[in-house]
Amino acid sequence: MKQVTFTLSAALLGCAAIWQATDGGRAVTAEGARRVQIAENPVHVPPVSLETMDGSLQMWPAQGQPILLEFIYTTCPTICQTSGGDFAELRDHLTDEGLDVPMYSVSFDPVADGLPELQSYGEAHGASGHPWTIARPEIDVVAGLLDLFRVTVIPDGWGGYKHNIAVLVINPNGEFAGAYDTRAFEDIRSAVEAML
């Protein structure tokens, strides 16, 4: 009888730990947990000046409309190139649905990513400036942006970076309110439509 009681107690404690670690069974990975927390706890995004690939300055976020963004560095040989292709497909998908949503690929390496690099990345992925542009913030705000959007960037020792990637959503109230897989086109479209 003691064996059964001990086994049941251990099983219940294990289930409770799993329940806690997975945000009530809603997230299996740390990235999944991050996305649940973001959706449930929108955070105000302070105004930031971005230099776009055409050399103009834009204040961001603009109030009153949703904004989609991703963080990249233009010389990334792997995940940024894939996500750039995904962002282009997302733009086409949203446009086909009649949605004109501002989209930004924001460099987290604005020193290395000058205007020629932003333009080259934009040309390689079909970003024309509207609705999708490539941009960079001032160097002094990068760390705060990465922290706000919960983006992890780690130098790889070879001049590049390891980083997480997602399509991030700023709602019309100027709050960071969602993070999605780069190919979750329907989920992103639904989120955008719910904000309009």
Higher per-residue pLDDT: 98 or 32:
98
pLDDT at 9 over 70: no
pLDDT at 170 over 80: yes
pTM for the model stands at: 0.83
So what's the pLDDT on residue 152?
92
Higher per-residue pLDDT: 126 or 39:
126
Sequence-distant (6+) residues with CB within 8 A of 185 are 89, 90, 93
pLDDT at 32 over 90: no
So what's the pLDDT on residue 14?
45
What is the CATH superfamily name and number for domain 42-195?
A: Glutaredoxin (3.40.30.10)
**Separation of alpha carbons 64 and 84, rounded Å:** 26
So what's the pLDDT on residue 2?
66
pLDDT at 142 over 90: yes
CA nearest 57: which of 47, 46, 68, 45? 47
DSSP 168: E
So what's the pLDDT on residue 50?
96
**Separation of alpha carbons 9 and 71, rounded Å:** 45
pLDDT at 19 over 80: no
Domain residue limits, the chain: 42-195
Q: How many CA atoms lie within 13 A of 161 on its CB side?
A: 18
Mean pLDDT of the residues in the chain: 87
SS3 for 58-108 is: EEECCCCCCEEEEEECCCCCCHHHHHHHHHHHHHHHHHHCCCCCCEEEEEC
So what's the pLDDT on residue 27?
41
Model confidence at 104, pLDDT cuts 50, 70, 90, reads very high
**Separation of alpha carbons 9 and 12, rounded Å:** 5
**Separation of alpha carbons 46 and 60, rounded Å:** 8
- For 2, 18, 87, 143, 187, the CA distances from 168, given in Å and listed in that order, are 51, 27, 11, 17, 12
So what's the pLDDT on residue 1?
63
Model confidence at 4, pLDDT cuts 50, 70, 90, reads low
- For 132, 133, 158, the CA distances from 88, given in Å and listed in that order, are 8, 11, 28
